Amino acid sequence: MNKPSHLQAPRPTRWTLFWRTFLPWQLWRFLVINLKMLRMMRLEKKHGHKRR
């Protein structure tokens, strides 16, 4: 079994953890993530769901 202590995986620094729940930054990320999702849906409309 793989134990976390044996992992080579990167761990977040305290600074990273702080940004993950820092309200002003997360409000910005909320906007950015929503825009990214909308972009993905636009791509979908461009590539798929089209008349053959």
Partner 1 sequence: MARVVVLGAGIAGHTSAAFLRKWLGKDNDVVVISPQPTYNWIPSNIWVGVGLMKKEAVVFPLAPIYERRQIDFLQAKAVALWPEGTPEGGAKPKVEVEYTGQGKDGRREFVEYDFLINATGPKLNFAATPGLGPEGNSHSVCTADHAASTSTAFLESVERMKKGERQRFAVGVGHGGCTCEGAAFEYVVNLEFELRSRGVRDKADITFITNEYELGDFGVDGLNIKMGGYVSPSKIFTESLFAERGIDFVTRAHVRSVDPGATHIETLDGTRMEIPFDFAMLLPPFTGVGLKAFDATGADITDRLFAPNGFMKVDADYAKKPYEEWTPADWPRVYQSPAYPNLFAAGIAFAPPHPISKVRTNDEGLMISPAPPRTGMPSAVIGKTVARNIVRLIRGEDKPLYTASMAEMGAACVASAGANPFSGTAASMTMFPIIPDYQKYPQYGRDLNSTFGEIGLAGHWIKILLHHMFLYKAKMKPGWSLIPE
Contact (Cβ atoms closer than 8 angstroms) between residue 25 and residue 18: no
The position carrying tokens 């761990």 is: 11
Residues 1-52 contacting partner 1, CB under 8 A: 1-4, 7, 9-12, 19-21, 23, 26-27, 29-30, 33-34, 36-37, 39-41, 43-44, 47-52
Q: What is the DSSP string of 23-36?
A: HHHHHHHHHHHHHH
Which positions lie near partner 1, rule CB under 8 A? 1-4, 7, 9-12, 19-21, 23, 26-27, 29-30, 33-34, 36-37, 39-41, 43-44, 47-52
